[in-house]
């Protein structure tokens, strides 16, 4: 069996464009747009269905989306938007009988189709139909998250909140924002990670929208599904606690949308699982009740700096370009992507941190000293990271025991710094929900506290704070 992500060539080569502004009750507002500006994206799913591949898309209706006038790849007149009527997604989930040529999942909001081919004949037929207009991106390059770095973690703490006071120092502006009633209300925060323990005291008081993305999300046998949030690893729960925990979170009143896309045992994921998780997030964000709400997405995952052994360099580059196209789709949809820079130290930059569309985050301690593990470097003419966040011995939720006893731990890593900055972004988006994702990014960079120059590390604009 071979797996590919099919992405329109025009989509993967394009640059992100801010969506079209409209007005509601005299207020400036940004309606969410989608990748269906690349109207040819759906042709891959149609061709695969005709070739005998079975749809693995869950039954339901496509969300209402918009596309430029004439449906010509975003080349219509600026500001001219046409609504696309909701149409049924082709085919419910069905069990394979062994005679199918393969299976596929169409993901309209990121403008891609994930396909499994069960034979070389089926793959050749699909390439014959689609290779002129679509990149066939092999899903063979492993992604992983920059796991927590060993630090002075001390013993686990038990109880509802454990610490007498929140740790966020006054200089970061979080206490000030909370005193002003700016706590993230109205903002949607998406997290792609190992999951979340929705019953941990940091998260139990709110409804957490959760999706488990299976190992083979485009297989009819193991469809992605919405269930009560769980997290066998604890990493995602820690990340969510930093950004949105009710006792210790930077933005405790955000609405959480968590997709589990990383296995707890291997801390690995795939392009297909990340694509499925991102598609789900955009589907949630694009619902009619959410279409104009501000959103932020936190990601602590990525491709390695160099092409892994055994992976052809062209395949690796195609995977990078596909991931970059998906990050662009977030910006297209007025969602700010916040990503961990990595934990491999100076002169190392992985991806998506290396993409200009992402807000890449490095780590400092509470004394503003750059963490030795914080990744940094230069990609083209762009220095990475863009900005720093607190990422050394950060206190947050982790897991519960069978008797329901909850634990909190200190962890270190850019995976901890990224949700801190995602929380700062949520505070800004809460205060000014009409700002675009790019404007919020610019605001974070403009308000950053400058750090002492480091001989080893790049620190971007400095420490992200709320002002």
Cα–Cα distances in angstroms (integers) from residue 343 to residues 178, 237, 317, 393, 405, in the given order: 30, 19, 22, 14, 31
Measuring CA to CA, which residue among 269, 134, 287, 252 is closest to residue 194?
A: 269
* Choice among 219, 333, 396, 415 that is catalytic: 415
Catalytic choice (193, 197, 255, 386): 193
Please measure the distance between the N-terminal and C-terminal CA atoms of the chain and give it in whole angstroms.
52
Instruction: Map tokens 């009750």 to a residue.
Output: 25
Q: Which among 189, 322, 166 is positioned nearest to 251, based on CA atoms?
A: 189
Give the separation between CA 188 and CA 46, rounded to whole angstroms: 32
Nearest to 358 by CA among 378, 321, 394, 384: 384
Q: Quick count: other Cβ atoms within 10 Å of Cβ 312? A: 12
CA distance 417 to 332: 25
Nearest to 41 by CA among 105, 118, 112: 112
Please say whether the dihedral angle defined by the alpha carbons of residues 423, 425, 431 and 434, taken in this order, is positive or negative.
Answer: negative
Does the annotation mark 193 as catalytic? yes
User: In DSSP terms, which residues pair with 211 in a beta bridge?
Assistant: 259
For the CA atoms of 258, 175, 336, 194, what is the dihedral angle to 10 degrees? -20
Q: Which residues pair with 6 in a beta bridge?
A: 113, 136
CA angle, corner 173, sides to 300 and 462, nearest 5? Answer: 55
Q: Dig out the tokens for 360 from the structure.
A: 């890449």
Omega of the bond prior to 279 within 30 degrees of 0, cis?
A: no
DSSP string for residues in 303-319: B-SSPPTTS-HHHHHHH
By CB atoms closer than 10 A (0-12, 13-18, 19+), residue 255 is buried
- The H-or-E segment that residue 408 falls in is strand 406-411
What stretches of 118-173 show up as alpha helix (H) in DSSP? 120-130
Q: CA angle 394-397-403, nearest 5°?
A: 145
Catalytic residue among 235, 238, 247, 457: 235
How many Å apart are CA 410 and CA 374, to the nearest integer? Answer: 17
Tell me which residue has tokens 């589907």. 283
Provide the annotated active-site residues: 193, 235, 415
């Amino acid at each position: 069996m071979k797996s590919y992500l099919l992405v329109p060539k025009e989509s993967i080569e394009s640059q992100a464009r801010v969506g079209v502004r409209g007005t509601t009750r005299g207020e400036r507002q940004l309606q969410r747009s989608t990748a269906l500006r690349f109207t040819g994206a759906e042709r891959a799913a149609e061709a695969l269905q005709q070739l005998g591949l079975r749809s693995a898309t869950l039954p339901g209706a496509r969300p209402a989306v918009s596309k430029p006038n004439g449906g010509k790849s975003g080349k219509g007149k600026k500001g001219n938007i046409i609504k696309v009527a909701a149409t049924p997604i082709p085919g419910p989930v069905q069990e394979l009988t062994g005679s199918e040529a393969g299976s596929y999942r169409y993901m309209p909001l990121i403008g891609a189709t994930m396909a499994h081919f069960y034979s070389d004949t089926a793959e050749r037929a699909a390439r014959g139909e689609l290779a002129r207009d679509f990149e066939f991106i092999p899903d063979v390059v492993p992604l992983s998250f920059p796991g927590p770095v060993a630090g002075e973690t001390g013993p686990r703490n038990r109880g509802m909140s454990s610490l007498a006071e929140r740790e966020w120092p006054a200089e970061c502006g979080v206490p000030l924002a909370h005193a002003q009633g700016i706590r993230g209300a109205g903002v949607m925060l998406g997290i792609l990670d190992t999951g979340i323990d929705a019953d941990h005291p940091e998260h139990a008081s709110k409804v957490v929208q959760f999706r488990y993305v299976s190992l083979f999300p485009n297989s009819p046998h193991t469809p992605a599904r919405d269930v009560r949030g769980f997290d066998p690893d604890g990493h995602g729960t820690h990340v969510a606690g930093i950004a949105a925990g009710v006792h210790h979170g930077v933005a405790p009143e955000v609405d959480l949308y968590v997709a589990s896309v990383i296995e707890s045992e291997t801390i690995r994921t795939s392009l297909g699982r990340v694509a499925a998780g991102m598609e789900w997030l955009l589907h949630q964000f694009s619902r009619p009740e959410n279409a104009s709400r501000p959103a932020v997405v936190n990601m602590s995952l990525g491709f390695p700096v160099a092409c892994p052994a055994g992976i052809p360099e062209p395949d690796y580059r195609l995977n990078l370009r596909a991931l970059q196209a998906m990050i662009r789709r977030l910006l297209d949809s007025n969602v700010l992507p916040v990503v961990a820079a990595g934990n491999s130290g100076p002169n190392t930059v992985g991806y998506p941190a290396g993409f200009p569309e992402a807000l890449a985050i490095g780590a400092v301690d509470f004394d503003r000293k750059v963490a030795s593990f914080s990744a940094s470097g230069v990609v083209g003419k762009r220095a990475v990271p863009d900005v720093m966040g607190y990422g050394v011995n950060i206190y947050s939720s982790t897991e519960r025991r069978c008797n329901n006893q909850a634990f909190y731990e200190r962890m270190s890593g850019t995976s901890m710094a990224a949700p801190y900055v995602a929380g700062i972004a949520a505070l800004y988006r809460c205060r000014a929900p009409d700002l675009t994702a790019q404007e919020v990014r610019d605001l974070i960079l403009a308000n950053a506290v400058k750090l002492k120059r480091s001989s080893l590390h790049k620190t971007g604009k400095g420490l992200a704070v709320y002002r």
